[in-house]
Amino acid sequence: MADFTLTPRSIFDAVGGCRVEVEGFAFDETPTRSLVSLARRRGEAGAALDAAVKAAFGADLPEPGRFTEANGVTIIFSQPGQWLIAAEREELEAEVRSTAAGAGTVTDQSDAFTELTMEGPLAVEVLSRLSSLDYETFEVGQVARTPMQQIAVTIARTGAESWRLNTARSTARDFAHDVDVAAKAIGARGSLAPT
Amino acid sequence: MQANRVEGRGLIDRDAPLNFRFNHEKMQGYAGDTVASALLANGQRLMGRSFKYHRPRGPLSAGPEEPSALLTIGRYEHEDPNVRATVRELYDGLRARSQNHRGSLERDFMAVTDLMNRFFGAGFYYKTFMWPAKFWESLYEPIIRAAAGLGALPGDNDPSQYEHGCRHCDLLIIGAGPTGLMAALTAGRAGARVILADEDFLMGGRLNAESHEVGGMAGSAWAAQAVAELAAMPNVRLMPRTTVFGVYDGGVYGALERVGEHQAEIPADLPRQCMWKLVAKRAILCAGAIERSIAFENNDRPGIMLAGAARTYLNRYGVAAGKSVAVFTNNDDGWRTAEDFRDAGLDVAVVADARADAKERDGFRTIAGGVIADSVGRLGVHTATIRHKTGTEDSVRADLIAVSGGWSPAVHLTCHQGCKPVWREDIAAFVPGANPPQGLTVAGAAQGDFSTSACLAGGASAAQAALADLGFEAPAMETPEAEDGATMITPFWKVEGCQRAWLDHQNDVTVKDIAMSYKEGFKSVEHMKRYTTLGMATDQGKTANVPAIALMAELTGKSIQETGTTVFRPPYTPVPIGAFGGRHRGKHFHPTRLTPSHDWAAANGGDFVEAGLWLRTQWFRQGSEKGWRDSVDREVVTTRSKVGVCDVTTLGKIDIQGADAGEFLDRVYQNGFSKLAVGKCRYGLMLREDGIVMDDGTSARFAEDHYVMTTTTAKAGQVMRHLEFCRQCLWPDLDVALISTTEQWAQYAVAGPHARDLLRKVLDAEHDISNDALPYMGCAEVTVCGGVKARIFRLSFSGELAYEIAVPCRYGHDMMEVLMKAGEEFGAEPYGTEALGVMRIEKGHAAGNELDGRTTAGDLGMGRLGAKKNTDFIGKTMAQREGLQAEDRAVMVGLKTVEPTAKIGGGAHFLEKGAEPTLETDLGWIASVAWSPELNNYIGIGFLKHGKDRMGDRLRAWDGVRGTDIEVEICSPHMVDPEGERLRG
């Protein structure tokens, strides 16, 4: 008989969250969304996947390096023939599974990744201290998976000054520390910041 | 007293005085000063002692090429040795200390080496300290090191922060002198993304150091105006205080920015420096040129400096480096110093122009075809010895000798990918070769265009060419009017007959040493460099190389082109190791992976060990337990007698789905998986292509087309990569999808006689885990604690009745708490990796120590695993190689010490009694050892030749490292419950 209860916890719960704020930049964890991976089946079986996903979620399976969004559902390209689907609903896995039917395979990844956001005009500057990609020309709708200070991160530009990042749960505290140090260093430059 | 300031000159801010200290003396400078300019302003010419002879030295230059004026800046753990005073920006409260002297700077006891210089020529220690050889490390080297050298490291950890960053651009312009500014204006106005980097804190290069006009205004004013225009362009990024130090593949440039270093108080979060990776589609090197000296006797005294540097101190810093200057030149440029000093109202004692056809100039005492042959003055020059064309000599009072031997383009960055500089006779200088790094072009003085006018035009046209390449429409540029004098030069390297005439001021290499190097056969420039140390250390011979090459060319009778330069490598100027490390230091050297119950373990006595990037709990200290063995023994006993819980989240987990998932596993494992029943797990052994064991683990089948593989913690990433390679490259036709779920599931081993009782309390009631419903090696998807989805696997690494239960990571922390609470009535305790290790050794399960990249399935006693399978798998063929199938291969055995408490160590070798420890008598090795609380004996797992035939034999475990030699008895590796009754119970 189960007399015990389990409470869901973020990796940041025990350390008081991960919010970082300096003038022109904010970083935080987003409320937990469900996240599932969807892989296209090989051969003819997989051909039906695009239409099924579009019909169910209203968003296209994105091209490499892009993400699509509709009705609160985000679909992120993760590798050829594989996508990550995120939405704020508990039954997402079952939903995607029934959508994919025989055309795709589904794996729950909701707890594998921590979803984070960066906001503000200095976000590009902070990102330039974490990884080697060109964030000035990074387009809204674009997504990339890249090492940031040795930690793998999936990063998407959701607006001119807003970014969404997914990183592995086990290293998320270290990643937040890196963001904290980078942002504070930029903040400390103040008027010293290069023009 | 800033006695040497010249009123009305300089780009310093006289309203912003800065206090600083040199050794113990308090001094004052101004904002805009370097440490060197401020010291000279205060009349402090003497700034240090030389490397080998401890000769008094002052600055030779006013820039990054400085060999002599090296100081220690800062205090305590912030001490920074070998800082070039000529580039370090002055700040309020700065503390500078001179280096390399015993006693005061003025009275250095070690200066005795200068008197004995004839014994200390180039290569003297190679010849002197040859015998006895063993004295080198213990005696000679320490003495030489103490006597020679420059600054010393503080010895404390560097408390500074170092940042890393990356920026992209269309066009990177390196150097913000006239060339770079013009290039940046051109590209900026065209709308290209531009980065303009300059090592100086004030952009403008020589424009700030010269007195001539550009576009009808002071050169420095034109530079300031250009910088202001660039600063206002959103597409242009100015990076002052940033040295581009290296060129790497694919348009990547390394750059070091001084962020907080020049501030009196570095704010807590501000990095000292930032290491930039600059990625540029095109780059233009506008690094300018470096002036060189002429060799004459005693040309290294404080007060003897490059003519261009003397002008820099005067025009940029408003400092007269001397009251009376003697100029020594072989080109027109040197004359500018004479003119600027005269215009500033200072005394120009004499101009010695080595060119035979030099013309007398109005108002100057000109010695045409004459030279300065020697200098006089103990701690600084006061007299120059003039030698006329006729050979007669006379003395001239001068406290500053300004020398110009011509200018050498700063070609260094062009050489970083193998391009060799080319000698140009007309300007007597090396210019960049024909194949600089891809995407990099060179303009201005860096490629030998020395006039300001040519620099401005060159910068614009180089930018226009780059823009055209990149598809930008380049604007027409009007080049501002500027001087266009050709610098007529007649090469002149050394004064006839000089011996102790310095070429490399930093390493104390003289003309005599080059002659010695030649005489002893070290004639190639690379040999000469190693033999004499010319061109080594912090300045890398920026002022020394070309004159030394010219002298060697003279000696060998070869041309300078044939003689060639040594290879220039990154970094262009010194870069602290800390800057390369960035934030990757201390506990942030690499990321740390934490399991969901990490905090729980930390709060419950957990002691952590690094396992790859993971932190795992080795044991949980309880109460008064002193040593780790107390905890580990208790955890083993508890688990074997009651129940224990171990966090196994770190094991790799891979979700494998698709119609061909079973077929896929058949091909990557030695044994078969496609016929495994749904709801069952199986142990699998994975081989490398070469037939050696790669990894092991279990795979569970949850559906016809769905398996979950586990890997070891250590090999999780490697196995995932291997499987992806197989899927994508070897068998792209298979319908199989892979994704790691290591991060998704928090997994706990629950082991011991009460394991089932405990789990029954946690699982929701509808799930039956009786021995019939969930037998050994069964698996199921279940729910726990009122509907939380979970997976249960009946696996046992410990040999006990055991399960692994997995829940999504968000519940991991609470799951650990729940398991402990539910287990309270059974006496449950958590156990760590050490107890896990003890139990698996007792049980004879191979782990990382056994799967060491050398062992085969046969060695591990699993040669027959999957023998019924007749399909191919990775490693199958190569495993059949003769050597891997040899009869006498060492195979896995168990062992017990004959004396139960005799402590053996992993790595010991098996020897017969009485055998000498040699390669020939070696019978194998011990891989894992443990104290077994169950058997009350030290036990182990090893690999022994003909091991199967040696059960019960007594051998020696000989350990040459720890110096032990212990008798052991060979047994089956399955030392506890060999029949497996417990785990099936």
- pLDDT tens for B256-273 read 999 999 988 888 899 999
* pLDDT score of B124: 77
Any idea which residue has 């104290």 for tokens?
B931
Identify whether B571 is preceded by a cis peptide bond (ω within 30 of 0). yes
- pLDDT tens for B16-50 read 999 999 999 999 999 999 999 999 999 999 999 99
How long, in residues, is chain B?
985
pLDDT > 90 fraction of chain B, expressed in percent and rounded: 90
* A191 interface with B at CB cutoff 8 Å: no
**Distance (Å, whole) CA B23 – CA B149:** 19
Mean pLDDT computed over B977-984: 93
**Distance (Å, whole) CA B72 – CA B61:** 18
Q: Chain A residues with CB inside 8 Å of B739's CB?
A: 37, 39, 82, 107, 109
CB atoms within 10 A of CB B121: 17
Distance from CA of B12 to the nearest CA of A (A): 19
* B737 interface with A at CB cutoff 8 Å: yes
* pLDDT score of B779: 98
Rg (alpha carbons) of chain B, rounded to whole number: 38
* pLDDT score of A194: 43
Nearest-CA neighbor of B926 among B896, B898, B902, B888?
B896
Out of B269, B593, B657, whose CB is closest to A105?
A: B657
- Beta-sheet pairing, A73-79 with A67-70: antiparallel
Out of B269, B596, B705, whose CB is closest to A187?
A: B269
Residues 6+ apart with CB under 8 A from B490: B330, B331, B354, B355, B356, B428
* A163 interface with B at CB cutoff 8 Å: no
* A107 interface with B at CB cutoff 8 Å: yes
- pLDDT tens for B916-928 read 999 999 999 999 9
Interface test with B, best of A6, A41, A138, A169 (most B CBs within 10 A): A6
**Greatest CA separation found in chain B?**
115
Inter-chain residue contact B735 with A42, CB threshold 8 Å:
yes
Q: Chain A residues with CB inside 8 Å of B166's CB?
A: 128, 131-133
Rg (alpha carbons) of chain A, rounded to whole number: 18
Mean pLDDT computed over A156-183: 97
This model of the complex carries an ipTM of 0.96
* pLDDT score of B386: 97
Distance from CA of A55 to the nearest CA of B (A): 23
Mean pLDDT computed over B654-664: 98
Q: Chain B residues with CB inside 8 Å of A170's CB?
A: 593-595, 614, 743
Average pLDDT, chain B: 95
* B739 interface with A at CB cutoff 8 Å: yes
Evaluate if residue A195 carries a pLDDT over 60.
no
Mean pLDDT computed over B278-306: 98
- pLDDT tens for B403-436 read 999 999 999 999 999 999 999 999 999 999 999 9
3-state SS, one letter per residue, for B508-553 = CEEHHHHHHHHHCCCCCHHHHHHHHCCCCCCCCCCCCHHHHHHHHH
In terms of pTM, does the model score above 0.80? yes
Inter-chain residue contact B592 with A129, CB threshold 8 Å:
no
Residues 6+ apart with CB under 8 A from B205: B175, B176, B177, B178, B179, B180, B181, B198, B223, B288
* pLDDT score of B154: 86
* A56 interface with B at CB cutoff 8 Å: no
Evaluate if residue A74 carries a pLDDT over 70.
yes
Inter-chain residue contact A129 with B165, CB threshold 8 Å:
yes
**Distance (Å, whole) CA B551 – CA B557:** 10
Interface test with A, best of B201, B739, B820, B825 (most A CBs within 10 A): B739
Evaluate if residue B152 carries a pLDDT over 90.
no
Distance from CA of A110 to the nearest CA of B (A): 7
Count helices and strands in chain A by DSSP H and E runs: 4, 11
Ordered DSSP codes for B226-290:
HHHHHHT-TTEEEETTEEEEEEEGGGEEEEEEESSTTSSS--TT--SEEEEEEEEEEEEE---EE
Inter-chain residue contact B734 with A42, CB threshold 8 Å:
yes
Confidence category of residue A191, pLDDT binned at 50, 70, 90: low
Confidence category of residue B860, pLDDT binned at 50, 70, 90: very high
For residue B948, the 8-state DSSP code is G
* pLDDT score of B952: 97
Evaluate if residue B98 carries a pLDDT over 80.
yes
- pLDDT tens for B169-186 read 999 999 999 999 999 999
Out of A113, A181, A188, whose CB is closest to B583?
A: A181
Confidence category of residue B115, pLDDT binned at 50, 70, 90: confident
Distance from CA of B501 to the nearest CA of A (A): 44
Interface test with A, best of B583, B650, B728, B791 (most A CBs within 10 A): B583
Mean pLDDT computed over B119-130: 76
* pLDDT score of B542: 95
Distance from CA of A184 to the nearest CA of B (A): 6
C-beta separation of B154 from B77 below 8 A: yes
* pLDDT score of A8: 96
For residue B110, the 8-state DSSP code is G
Which tokens sit at B260? 């907080």
C-beta separation of B859 from B892 below 8 A: yes
Evaluate if residue B80 carries a pLDDT over 80.
yes
* pLDDT score of B371: 97
Evaluate if residue A162 carries a pLDDT over 70.
yes
CB pairs under 8 A between A and B: 176
* B784 interface with A at CB cutoff 8 Å: yes
Out of A2, A105, A151, whose CB is closest to B786?
A: A2
Mean pLDDT computed over B722-749: 97
Chain A residue with minimum CA distance to B738: A39
Burial of B31 (0-12, 13-18, 19+ CB in 10 A): middle
Inter-chain residue contact B810 with A195, CB threshold 8 Å:
no
Any idea which residue has 């003039």 for tokens?
B386
* pLDDT score of B146: 76
Out of B168, B613, B659, whose CB is closest to A134?
A: B168
Mean pLDDT computed over B765-788: 97
Inter-chain residue contact A174 with B240, CB threshold 8 Å:
no
Evaluate if residue A193 carries a pLDDT over 50.
no
Residues 6+ apart with CB under 8 A from B824: none
Any idea which residue has 């005009």 for tokens?
A121
Inter-chain residue contact A194 with B237, CB threshold 8 Å:
yes
* B193 interface with A at CB cutoff 8 Å: yes
Mean pLDDT computed over B507-524: 94
- pLDDT tens for B202-217 read 999 999 999 999 999 9
- pLDDT tens for A5-56 read 999 999 999 999 999 999 999 999 998 799 999 999 999 999 999 999 999 9
**Distance (Å, whole) CA B317 – CA B160:** 30
* A64 interface with B at CB cutoff 8 Å: no
Confidence category of residue B670, pLDDT binned at 50, 70, 90: very high
* B613 interface with A at CB cutoff 8 Å: yes
Inter-chain residue contact B267 with A188, CB threshold 8 Å:
yes
Chain A residue with minimum CA distance to B602: A14
- pLDDT tens for B944-973 read 999 999 999 999 999 999 999 999 999 999
Q: Chain A residues with CB inside 8 Å of B723's CB?
A: none
